[in-house]
Structure 1
């Protein structure tokens, strides 16, 4: 019995500010697909679906598409036509739903941003273990006033393009959403509410007399805890793995992405991009809606 799906859909996605899915791109894509159907535009110039037959695995078809579209700022994902709409969505926060790493911005207040950013980068690449790296960085924050987090949110953080629309559209269509971060509750509580997530989970920075102690509460929410949250929410809501989607950029997201029906690497570190089911290198976070077959006109 063949394990290759018989009915697939290839989705081509560009950034909404830089539309690239034109007639030439669609023709080049169709040339490397088996029995391609007529393109269905999800957003003019931005995203399109092309139904196709499965002459090999989805991953191999994706690679053919990337080679055919080399040099074009277009992301591709090939998946089964059925079951694209997801009912549970988990997202990383730092460098995914927001454009910054919160701990690096906190470290700037004690003159240690460069040092902490280097450790953060190594941890996200999977070169060093996440938990001890987090403890090492948090220790450098000792003495900072607790209220500095509000200043960071107000002055330094930016929401990633497409994030609020992604969460709002999925919730409007019955999906449950959770922000799951290796960062801190001082940020996820407010960022999660700003974007519109149903719930949030992250690490607790310990505070005494209004100042950070330089310690983080144990156990640390890392790679396995992210995966465990996905499994818990899936079970509570009576869903299957294929009903779920997760997005992240770092090594501590790998277990969560691997557990999800559609694991998405967003502007991710190389090892994460290589392992994820879908990778977004050009589009914004609305790419995750187009991957589910949503049209731009139906975004919340």
Structure 2
């Protein structure tokens, strides 16, 4: 499935986000690292901006991860609020994402990734609904579910019931071929983490008819999602039990981690919607990627400007360590 040109990244004010979990749940570390990430399409992280940031941090020099795109500053433990205020003033409205993380344990050995509006730029259930003439019924439910305004699992069952009687194999193939576009940086993230020994899983509340081809195209080790039940060539309007609901990504996290002798802290997770909240709260490093309202509070970092390669820079990967897919 060939990738097509992606939509331009949004320009917005810089985001400064520190871990919102209770202090007792945060990883303990005597040192911190501040990571600055810009869009690769804009490369605004220039020498002047880095000098201003360095001065704000007391003269600490940056480690350049990728020129114009990503840099990090090694810091001693300090007051997070003061650090955030200093970074905000130094950046002066530049479109740069900032993460402040414990320096210890940054490299992760497991990736748990959402698919829709994260590793691809669409919501597949909405694309399927549009192709079947059901968009006006289904899209509003999707939006409310992703914002956490209604419960995820009942909303999913409600939408799937509307597909009853449709034959969708050809429609699904056409959507994958003509409509689905990959989020920039996704293949590079998966290729790089796998090259460094990590295991990668695409875990979605959507459907295996989409996650299978998408995971294969991007290079994930495996994928997990819901199965649409059929009767002959037509959909029954139901899902194969058990339905992958709000806790499915946490279940996958624990299953994948335990089978590899890992802990939750060894995983990085990324997602955008309300059904990602439990997973983002559970992993060692939870990343909200263009997150819906309310999702960022569950994450350690919010990415609004960088592409998916931000996941690598957050782990301390430099340009010469990155595998281009």
- TM-score w.r.t. the length of structure 2 is 0.87
Report 1 or 2 for greater relative contact order, CA contacts < 8 Å, sequence distance ≥ 6.
2
The ranges of structure 1 where at least 4 consecutive aligned residues each deviate by more than 6 angstroms after the TM superposition are: none
2:106 aligned residue (84, 90, 93) = 84
Residue of structure 2 equivalent to 1:16? 40
Deviation of the 1:56 alpha carbon: 2.0
Residue of structure 1 equivalent to 2:13? none
Does structure 2 conserve the Cα–Cα contact (< 8 Å) formed by 1:14 and 1:20?
yes
**1-side partners of 2:45 and 2:136: how far apart?**
39
**1-side partners of 2:201 and 2:165: how far apart?**
31
Give structure 2 stretches of 5+ with no counterpart: 1-23
Residue of structure 1 equivalent to 2:181? 158
1:115 aligned residue (106, 118, 137) = 137
Aligned pairs (5 A) from 1:6-155? 6-33=30-57, 35=58, 37-57=60-80, 61-62=83-84, 64-66=86-88, 68-147=90-169, 148-155=171-178
What is the RMSD computed on CA atoms of the aligned residues? Answer: 1.8
Residue of structure 2 equivalent to 1:210? 233
**1-side partners of 2:123 and 2:206: how far apart?**
8
**2-side partners of 1:240 and 1:60: how far apart?**
32
**1-side partners of 2:127 and 2:85: how far apart?**
37
Give structure 1 stretches of 5+ with no counterpart: none
1:233 aligns with 2:245: no
- The more displaced of 242-251 and 62-71 is 62-71
- TM-score w.r.t. the length of structure 1 is 0.94
Residue of structure 2 equivalent to 1:178? 201
